[in-house]
Amino acid sequence: MIYVTGDTHGSIDIRKLLENQVTDAMTENDYLIICGDFGLIWNYKREIRKEKKWLDWLNERPWTTLFADGNHECFPRLYGYPEKEWHGGKVHVIRDKVMHLMRGEIFDIEGSSVFVMGGASSHDRGPLKGDTEIVQGKSWWPEEIPSREEMDHGLENLKQHGNQVDYIITHCLPTTCQDIVKRGEFPADAMTEYLEQINSTIKYKHWYSGHYHINIDVVPGISVVFSRIIPIGSTIMGSATMLGVPKFRRGEAVLFHWQNEHKLGTIKEVHPWGPMFKHDQPYYDIIMYDTEQKKPVRVGETDIIEKSLIA
């Protein structure tokens, strides 16, 4: 099976892969795709001890780890790894079971066609922060945005596949979807506009991105993943409940089951690991609407039907 997750940022967010109910069940027949900001090829000089530790750890897992690049990668080092053909596309081989899915390639994995286009603009450093001279070559690289050649290579590969694939893996979103997630905070750029072109011309089943540090289904067929690990083809809301990784956030309005009725309310508190002595799923303290009861009710994630637009 193919699973998808979001940014690992080196050792910072890789701990979501440790001892969780999804990775604990994965086998040598499974693949885990990270949607950019892998971050374990980061030091601008060499592979340091911390990188080696985690790369070796990943290589020892039962599954195969695959990643698109994001904006937080040391591109000169990443592009220096050996290339090879793998499942119909080109990869950089970091370890035997850890590979970088190169830009614009289409892979045949378990009978599904997967188009990958890494890269995105940094919003915490570089040109958008005005500190390019300080960080360039040390913690920011202009290669974070694909070249025209890489973009054209992706379009040509898609054309050869009849402009249709099963899944798309990117780091950032098309411009219109990014605007939904960031509400205009992140400006459009060459990469988001390129992905906008792909979104309007390519047929696909589902698109997954990272970058925005949130788990959300943006529009039908497009999801952003961060802390969740979900089977490819799944949505965020449609994926299984995951202990320690709640689907909903404080302040969100939700529709939920309560005493054999459907109720609306606002989440006041989130308990990712469940309440004391009941660690089976995330729980939420919810203030119900249209009721005299002011005290929150505690609801398990499996009893929440969906987020509500009514607040």
Note the pLDDT tens digit of each residue in 270-284.
Answer: 998 888 778 788 999
Give the closest residue to 109 by CA, choosing from 88, 91, 93: 88
Least confident of 72-81, 158-167, 192-201, 290-299: 290-299
- Whole-number percent of the chain with pLDDT over 70: 99
pLDDT digits (tens, 9 = 90+) for 233-248: 999 988 888 888 888 8
Average pLDDT of the segment spanning 24-33: 96
Average pLDDT of the segment spanning 48-64: 97
Please check the confidence at residue 168 and state whether its pLDDT lies above 80: yes
- Assess contact for 115 and 157: CB atoms under 8 A: yes
pLDDT band at 308 (very low <50, low <70, confident <90, very high): confident
| Cα Rg of the chain, angstroms | 20
Please check the confidence at residue 297 and state whether its pLDDT lies above 80: yes
CA-CA distances (angstroms) from residue 23 to 11, 73, 95, 185, 272? Answer: 17, 24, 19, 34, 18
Quote the pLDDT of residue 143.
95
pLDDT band at 63 (very low <50, low <70, confident <90, very high): very high
pLDDT digits (tens, 9 = 90+) for 107-147: 999 999 999 999 999 998 988 888 898 899 889 999 999 99
Quote the pLDDT of residue 141.
92
List of E strands, the chain = 2-5, 31-35, 64-68, 83-86, 89-95, 98-101, 105-109, 112-117, 167-170, 206-209, 216-219, 222-224, 229-231, 253-258, 261-271, 283-288, 297-300, 304-307
- Contacts of residue 57, Cβ cutoff 8 Å, sequence gap at least 6: none
CA distance linking residue 99 with residue 87, whole number of Å: 12
Buried b (16+ CB within 10 A) or exposed e, 174-195: bbbbbbbbeeeebeebebbebb
- Assess contact for 136 and 173: CB atoms under 8 A: no
The chain-wide mean pLDDT, for the chain, equals 94
Sequence-distant contacts of 273-279: CB under 8 A, at least 24 apart: 273/243, 273/244, 274/243, 274/300, 279/243
- Assess contact for 289 and 254: CB atoms under 8 A: no
- Whole-number percent of the chain with pLDDT over 90: 79
Quote the pLDDT of residue 230.
95
pLDDT digits (tens, 9 = 90+) for 171-185: 999 999 999 999 889
- Provide the 3-class DSSP secondary structure of residue 58: helix
Quote the pLDDT of residue 173.
98
Please check the confidence at residue 86 and state whether its pLDDT lies above 80: yes
Could you give the maximum distance between any two Cα atoms of the chain, in Å?
A: 66
Cα angle value 78/36/32 (rounded, 5°) = 100
Quote the pLDDT of residue 242.
82
Quote the pLDDT of residue 21.
79
- Contacts of residue 113, Cβ cutoff 8 Å, sequence gap at least 6: 106, 107, 161, 165, 166, 167
Residue 248 CB neighbours (<10 A): 21
Quote the pLDDT of residue 310.
59
pLDDT band at 62 (very low <50, low <70, confident <90, very high): very high
Burial of 311 (0-12, 13-18, 19+ CB in 10 A): exposed
